[in-house]
Amino acid sequence: MEPFIQPFQYNFIRSQVDSMIQQLGAVHDPDVRDAVVYSAAKKIFDLLPVLTAEQEELLMRVRTVQTEADSALYLEDIQPVVRSFPSITEIQLQQLFRKTKKLRHPPLHSIDFLKTTYLSWNDTGNKKKFFVYPLNGEWVGIEGTYLPTIQKGICTICNQYSDVTLVSARTNPSADQYRAIGNYICIDSDHCNEQVTSPAALEKLLGKMK
């Protein structure tokens, strides 16, 4: 089966399965348990409304999940059909950040692109944070600066409570005016990627920063 699930969709499915297992552990009434499973399955299928018969059969197995062991097997079955982050080269990264002197990007071979909704890394020496994402089919590269202070808060991108820092990016809405946009974002981008269940906030943010 060809990969058809985006990394953020896998995160969403995993969160629904985890929530379902927690609820099933707290209830014993058969009707309530059926309702819990039905609700999780509906949310998953609402996320992926257009499926082949084979894809639907795979995801439908969520209705058989009753225990943590079942959930682990279900998620393991889904992992092979997760679609990787689009391929990008070091040359492309250099082109996205042409104005950045001595761009320090991460070794691409070390990144797990199956868990990547957006590519991001920190230049700790210069307190800069970089974002790369295929927005509307076009590569977008954003460079921001971040404060060394880390605090607990809600991340703008993944919308989860995490270790965040204030990231500011300067935009150029007109030829004569610059403005800075600041948002609290996870300092650990790998952790953020594991928590993203929708790209909507990310795309809105990057659209403002372009």
pLDDT digit string, tens, across residues 54-113: 999 999 999 999 999 999 999 999 999 999 999 999 999 999 998 888 888 888 999 999
Q: Would you say domain 7-81 falls under CATH 2.40.50.140?
A: no
Rounded to whole angstroms, how far apart are CA atoms 16 and 10? 10
Rounded to whole angstroms, how far apart are CA atoms 136 and 144? 21
In 3D space, the residue among 122, 127, 138, 130 whose CA is nearest the CA of residue 207 turns out to be 138
Q: What is the mean pLDDT of residues 174-182?
A: 62
Rounded to whole angstroms, how far apart are CA atoms 4 and 47? 12
Q: Across 47-125, where does the E strand assignment appear?
A: 119-123
Q: What is the pLDDT of residue 99?
A: 86
Question: Is the pLDDT at 195 greater than 60, yes or no?
Answer: yes
Question: Is the pLDDT at 177 greater than 90, yes or no?
Answer: no
Q: What is the mean pLDDT of residues 165-187?
A: 76
Q: What is the pLDDT of residue 137?
A: 87
DSSP 107: P
Rounded to whole angstroms, how far apart are CA atoms 9 and 198? 7
Q: What is the pLDDT of residue 172?
A: 58
pLDDT tens profile 3-16? 999 999 999 999 99
- The boundaries of every CATH 1.20.1280.250 domain in the chain are 7-81
Question: Is the pLDDT at 203 greater than 80, yes or no?
Answer: yes
Q: Helix, strand or coil for residue 187? A: coil
In 3D space, the residue among 23, 17, 22, 19 whose CA is nearest the CA of residue 65 turns out to be 17
Q: What is the mean pLDDT of residues 34-41?
A: 96
- More confidently predicted of 175 and 28: 28
Q: Across the chain, where does the E strand assignment appear?
A: 119-123, 128-135, 138-146, 151-154, 161-174, 177-186
Q: What is the mean pLDDT of residues 188-194?
A: 96
